[in-house]
Amino acid sequence: MTSARHDGDTWDLASSVGATATMAAAARAIATREDSSLFSDRFAEPLVQAVGVDLLAKLATGETASGALVGQIWIDAAKIRGKFYDEFFLSAGLPQAVILASGLDSRAYRLPWPAGTVVYEVDQPPVVEFKAATLAELGAEPTADRRAVAIDLRDDWPAALRAAGFDPARPTAWSAEGLLGYLPPEAQDRLLDTITELSAPGSRVATENRPNPRPGDEDKTKERLDRISEQWRGEGFDTDMTRLRYFGERNEAEPYLAGLGWAMEGTTVRDLFAANGLPPLQDDDLRMGDLRYISGVLG
């Protein structure tokens, strides 16, 4: 059974928060197979297979139909999320990119980065080490100067980033994709403060803004996540999504970053579904439609 989060907890790609990276990659694999016109990640399927969580591997390869287990909403959400971050990095065109909580993100191996771009990938040591080793075994070559920064984001990651060659005097494109809800509220603020301190003017940032819950929302979310987790456990994958996330009030990322001097813009998932010709969200009791994909530039 998944244990509750605590200071200094660690994981690999099959356990605790690490498994959420494998779940995200499984959704990308399903999305890529279903219709790669909006978004495509050819490394998602082999990476998930290599992690070896049986159910996720079977979903990624299509051996098990996603059906009731991974609703269409999750697959469509993976498409627009993948597209948003791909476009963010490509349009930023900056000499340095930092992918925070990189998980099984394969952008350093599949995006056509401008020549000379350095891409830093930051995640817990077992996560970055596993991905690099697996992609090397697959014969994949990075399409940028990729540098792994194996560290917990609650530790002194700026020092580790600098030690890997990061230069705060140069503008940087930062992403924090699918990360903020796994940090306690103060740690989220600290992360956004630190990103800002390390950013030269002209730097860009992309992440998600989850609206603060309305009364009763969190109970509904927990019930829904409990039901989903129970279903996954019934299929042999031991997870407890409610215990992996941090709940409660927190500063919303978009106004917080704006307060730090970033000129922000964003679009809700609901509007991105419509703009990309995806069917409207239904039964959205997790309020996925209200999540905003946001990006900003530092003045």
Ligand X SMILES: C[S@@+](CC[C@H](N)C(=O)[O-])C[C@H]1O[C@@H](n2cnc3c(N)ncnc32)[C@H](O)[C@@H]1O
**Comparison of 152 and 167: residue with beta carbon closer to ligand X:** 152
Least distance to ligand X from the beta carbon of 216, Å? 25
Nearest residue by C-beta to ligand X?
Answer: 103
Closest to ligand X by CB, 30 vs 127, is 127
Q: Which lies closer to ligand X via its Cβ, residue 51 or residue 118?
A: 51
CB of 197 to ligand X, least distance (A): 18
Q: How far is the CB of 299 from ligand X (least distance, A)?
A: 27
The upper half-sphere exposure of residue 154, i.e. CA atoms within 13 Å in the direction of its Cβ, equals 13
Q: Which of 31/104 has CB closer to ligand X?
A: 104
Residue 71 burial (CB count, 10 A): 14
Write out the two tokens for 206: 């992309």
Longest dimension (CA), the chain: 51
Could you give the angle at which helices 72-92 and 16-34 cross, rounded to 10 degrees?
Answer: 90
Phi, psi angle pair for 267, to nearest 5°: -140, 140
Of 182 and 247, the one with the shorter C-beta distance to ligand X is 182
Give the shortest CB-177-to-ligand X separation in angstroms. Answer: 4
Beta bridge partners of 256: none
Please say which residue, 69 or 200, places its beta carbon nearer to ligand X: 69
Interstrand relation of 292-298 and 204-209 (parallel, antiparallel or unpaired): antiparallel
Answer whether 164's CB lies under 8 Å from 147's CB. Answer: yes
* CA–CA dist 284, 218 (Å, integer): 13
- Residues at the site binding ligand X, with contacts judged by CB under 6 A: 17-18, 20-21, 24-25, 101-105, 123-124, 127, 152-154, 177-179, 182
Q: How far apart are CA 32 and CA 45, in angstroms?
A: 9
**Both tokens assigned to 42:** 């050819």
Q: How far is the CB of 169 from ligand X (least distance, A)?
A: 25
For residue 6, CA distances in Å to 13, 154, 230 come to: 18, 11, 22
Concatenated DSSP letters of 142-178 = -SSEEEEEE--TTS-HHHHHHHTT--TTS-EEEEE-S
| Rounded Cα distance, 260 and 253, in Å | 11
Q: How far is the CB of 183 from ligand X (least distance, A)?
A: 6
Nearer of residues 15 and 276 to ligand X, judged by Cβ: 15
Question: CB of 179: closest distance to ligand X in angstroms?
Answer: 5
Q: CB 182 → ligand X: shortest distance, Å? A: 4
Give 164 or 200: the residue with its C-beta nearer to ligand X.
164
